[in-house]
Chain A
Amino acid sequence: MLRYIRNRILISLPTVLAVTLVVFLMLQLVPGDPAEIFLGEHFSTPQLLAEVRHQMGLDRPLYIQYLDFLWKALHGDLGRSLQTNVPVLEQIKNAFPSTLELTVAAMGISILIGVLLGVISALRHNTWVDSFSMFLALLGVSMPVYWFGLLCIFFFSVKLHWLPAIGGGDFKHLIMPASVLGLLNSSMLARMIRSSMLEVLNEDYVRTARAKGLHNRVVVMKHALRNALIPSVTVLGLQFGSMMGGAVLTETIFTRMGLGKLYVDSIMNKDLPMVQGITLIIAISYILINIAVDISYSYLDPRIRYE
């Protein structure tokens, strides 16, 4: 087990390095001279430009610049925002809790609804219950999260005045964004659970359990569901990915000051150090989550380790 974990981490290292390289190269790929963008069009004279380029270290060879970027990033220095001149990492730290709260709550809702729908449609296979919940799942995949969010604002805030439309901070502000994000993401999970449930229900050990007269509820919950959940663990990584993407949109709709909103605003304002910093943080945490998912999967299903 430990060897598996070590290997899993080792094979991700090159990917992490490559991600830092891509994020570093973003600066080079964006059209225009960063020093010029920093100075603005009006104030740039050749001498000033050269001075700023020297200050920003842009006159050094590319690989030195990259190593410098890497070294600073390792020490938590991701530069300063061009807009506010606040250190990038500090702004990320401020925005992170809001996004974490949103994604964790949404993930909980998604798992709850996904498992429920998936199990029910597998147990009522080929009945109208099954068709109906699979149609709901299809609807969930086809519905844009930003539209669903706006509809919810219209009904629950504008019409019924039940929940606040925008902002963040307390539980009341979390209910709607988390439900919107969670409900739409549950579709993928529901489909997955349904098909693995159907597979497991046909296994010999389930028939044995039924044959020895176990109560149906015990068979379903203990023998079938537990094993059906294992393959679904692999989707959790993917889920987290689509949650991060969804958070960008959800936070924009509900005006939550999270990482996603900060990201979109930074792209709009051409605040490159911020864009680089957030990209790096999200990509690396995504890689870490996938490592965690793989490790927990190999723990739940020991067959995986020997493959």
Chain B
Amino acid sequence: MNNVSIPNKTANPERVKPLKLERSRSLWSDSLYRLSRNPGSIIGVIILLTLILMAISAPLITHFNPIAITPEDRLLPPSAVHLMGTDNFGRDTFTRVVFGGRISLSVGIISVFVALLFGVPMGLISGYYGGKLDSVIMRVVDVMLAFPGILLALVIIAILGPSIFNVMIAVGISAIPTYARVTRSSVLKTKEEMFIYAAILMGCKTRRIILSHILPNILGPVVVISTLGIGGAIISGSALSFLGLGATAPTPEWGLLLSDGRNYLAQAWWITTFPGMAIMITVLSINLIGDGLRDALDPKMINR
């Protein structure tokens, strides 16, 4: 018996190859393939990666200091030295926009993370267990939804006090209802699937059913709303800073840059124009990716 050699994978390459070709693609690799065929998403990915790279390597891109004041360079229009001009303190707007990308992108990512952290478990529990637990969680969500738009974030800021950290929390919390609802409705659909019944019959623990059978199957819609959510969070986050309820004075936050430039609109259009453009381009690229993901993950939606 010991002489019987175990078939070696490399022993017969001709046989292995066709097998590999026949292997079906998973939902994720299939979606990734579809995403790579969507020109809008490709543009979005390229722009976003460039912006992220610029934010990370900000000190290498520009040799100006984003905070230090140089009064003699006050309100200079865009030129070869100052690509986007300077503000009322003589700071280079381009530098401040590039450094601001770090803050705005982190606001987007962290607040979506906060929303996911609470929203997804709420939706999972609510959808899977149903009954009283479901009613309680959904009533909580209803109450949160009674504060429309950016208002819930404003209420939270009113309680916590203004700061950029609180902005992340406030924007994150105000997005929880969306995540809880989307997760719940996907769970409701998935839990009626045959493989869930099979798992229950096999004696799987509830925790295991939720985490390894339901969770992977509801990730599609959650990934889509998280992507689009980052864009929304960037807009709401800088809106709060614009109102003076977020980042404070010298911080190069995009919303704050806009509100600083407001008073110089007539003399120096560049102070407000470029940070706003930065917000728009960032959010636009994220939305392009999000829309592409939605089409890719839900083939029925194509051409809608």
Shortest CB-to-CB span from B138 to chain A, Å, is: 11
Distance of A11 Cα from B288 Cα, bound (Å): 38
The majority secondary structure among interface residues of chain A is: helix
Within the complex, which residue of A29, A30, A245, A268 is in contact with B149, where a contact is CB–CB below 8 Å? Answer: A245
Name which residue of chain B comes closest to A14, CB basis.
Answer: B139
Shortest CB-to-CB span from B176 to chain A, Å, is: 14
**Within 8 Å CB of A85, what residues of B?**
none
Interface string of B95-132 (1 = CB under 8 A from A): 00000000000000000000000000000000000000
**Within 8 Å CB of A287, what residues of B?**
146
Shortest CB-to-CB span from B143 to chain A, Å, is: 4
**Within 8 Å CB of B154, what residues of A?**
248, 263-264, 267
> At the interface, yes or no: A18 with Cβ under 8 Å from chain B?
yes
Most A C-beta atoms less than 10 A away, residue of B155, B161, B235, B258:
B155
> At the interface, yes or no: B266 with Cβ under 8 Å from chain A?
yes
Number of interface residues of A (CB under 8 A): 49
Shortest CB-to-CB span from A8 to chain B, Å, is: 13
> Which of B23-31, B56-64, B268-276 forms part of the interface with chain A?
B268-276
Contacts A195-B304, A244-B149, A245-B151 given; indicate if A268 touches B139 (C-beta within 8 A): no
Shortest CB-to-CB span from B45 to chain A, Å, is: 15
> Once the chains bind, are B276 and A144 in contact (CB under 8 Å)?
yes
Distance of A272 Cα from B158 Cα, bound (Å): 8
Distance of A135 Cα from B261 Cα, bound (Å): 28
Distance of A139 Cα from B265 Cα, bound (Å): 23
Distance of A143 Cα from B234 Cα, bound (Å): 11
> Once the chains bind, are A15 and B146 in contact (CB under 8 Å)?
yes
**Within 8 Å CB of A263, what residues of B?**
154
> Once the chains bind, are A26 and B149 in contact (CB under 8 Å)?
no
> Once the chains bind, are A158 and B266 in contact (CB under 8 Å)?
yes
**Within 8 Å CB of B259, what residues of A?**
146
Contacts A29-B159, A31-B161, A158-B266 given; indicate if A142 touches B231 (C-beta within 8 A): yes
Number of interface residues of B (CB under 8 A): 45
> At the interface, yes or no: B78 with Cβ under 8 Å from chain A?
no
Shortest CB-to-CB span from A165 to chain B, Å, is: 8
> At the interface, yes or no: B284 with Cβ under 8 Å from chain A?
yes
> At the interface, yes or no: B283 with Cβ under 8 Å from chain A?
yes
Distance of A29 Cα from B262 Cα, bound (Å): 34
Interface residues of A in 247-286 (CB under 8 A from B): 248-249, 252-253, 263-264, 267-268, 272, 275, 279, 282-284, 286
> At the interface, yes or no: A246 with Cβ under 8 Å from chain B?
yes
Name which residue of chain B comes closest to A19, CB basis.
Answer: B146
> At the interface, yes or no: A34 with Cβ under 8 Å from chain B?
no
Distance of A282 Cα from B151 Cα, bound (Å): 9
**Other A-B pairs, 15, CB within 8 Å; known A126-B303, A142-B287, A248-B243:** A15-B143, A18-B146, A19-B147, A22-B143, A138-B284, A142-B235, A143-B280, A150-B272, A245-B151, A248-B154, A249-B239, A264-B154, A264-B244, A283-B148, A286-B148
Residues of A at under 8 Å CB distance from B?
Answer: 14-15, 18-19, 22, 26, 29-31, 126, 138-139, 141-147, 150-151, 153-154, 158, 195, 198, 240-246, 248-249, 252-253, 263-264, 267-268, 272, 275, 279, 282-284, 286-287
